[in-house]
């Protein structure tokens, strides 16, 4: 018997090359999608950090305003009903406030209408206003005694530069 020589080069069709290219394409698509997810996660973390930075700054500013109107504070200025008065600098009487309070109508970038926080910096814009609210009813009692207390609404607004992080906080303070 004669042995037939099998020529293996004639039988190749290139199937392994096609399969290799398909696998390479799948691996490339997986790599691109992983990178996209990582970029999105990085943006989310950065936005969360900026929001927390603005929240922290706004909370500090609320405390700063409370110290300003604290009974032991040495502030001698008067609250005003005139939103354009250069002397008020963010201190208002609520009796003449627009609907919703002064904080809804002031220009937060006008230094005559708001007070700038000592925490402001080049990357944070932090301002606040203080509104004296109408007096509590005369029959308010603390420890069985009639007392007259003044109530204030403090509004703080913080913005981190270069981001969409903006926080507005309010508190009511009793003096």
Let me know if residue 24 belongs to a domain.
yes
Query: Is the pLDDT reported for residue 70 higher than 60?
Result: yes
Let me know if residue 5 belongs to a domain.
no
Query: Is the pLDDT reported for residue 86 higher than 50?
Result: no
Instruction: Give the domain range for residue 89.
Output: 14-174
As for how many domains the chain has, the answer is 1
Query: Is the pLDDT reported for residue 21 higher than 90?
Result: yes
Let me know if residue 160 belongs to a domain.
yes
Q: What is the pLDDT of residue 84?
A: 45
Query: Is the pLDDT reported for residue 24 higher than 90?
Result: yes
Let me know if residue 6 belongs to a domain.
no
- For residues 70 and 53, what is the distance between their CA atoms, to the nearest angstrom? 26
Task: List b or e across 98-118, with b for residues whose CB sees 16 or more CB atoms inside 10 angstroms.
Answer: eeebbbeebebeeeebbbebe
How sure is the predictor about 83, in pLDDT bands with cuts at 50, 70 and 90? Answer: very low
Longest pairwise C-alpha distance within the chain: 125
Let me know if residue 31 belongs to a domain.
yes
Range 100-122 average pLDDT = 80
Range of 21-25, 70-74, 107-111, 145-149 with top mean pLDDT: 21-25
Let me know if residue 165 belongs to a domain.
yes
Q: Sort 82 into a burial class: Cβ within 10 Å, 0-12 / 13-18 / 19+.
A: exposed
Let me know if residue 139 belongs to a domain.
yes
Query: Is the pLDDT reported for residue 109 higher than 80?
Result: yes
Range 74-92 average pLDDT = 57
Let me know if residue 101 belongs to a domain.
yes
């Amino acid at each position: 018997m004669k042995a037939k020589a099998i020529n293996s080069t004639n039988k190749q069709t290139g199937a392994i090359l096609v399969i290799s290219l398909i696998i390479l394409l799948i691996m490339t698509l997986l790599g691109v999608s992983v990178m996209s997810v990582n970029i999105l996660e990085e943006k989310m973390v950065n936005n969360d950090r900026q929001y927390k930075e603005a929240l922290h700054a706004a909370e500090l500013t609320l405390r700063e305003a409370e110290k300003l109107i604290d009974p032991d504070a040495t502030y001698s200025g008067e609250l005003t009903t005139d939103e354009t008065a250069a002397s008020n600098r963010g201190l208002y009487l609520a009796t003449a406030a627009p609907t919703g309070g002064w904080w809804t109508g002031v220009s937060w970038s006008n230094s005559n209408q708001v007070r700038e926080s000592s925490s402001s910096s080049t990357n944070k814009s932090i301002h606040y206003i203080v509104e004296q609210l109408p007096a509590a009813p005369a029959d308010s009692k603390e420890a069985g005694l009639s007392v007259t207390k003044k109530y204030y609404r403090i509004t703080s607004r913080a913005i981190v530069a270069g981001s969409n992080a903006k926080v507005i906080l309010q508190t009511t303070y009793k003096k």
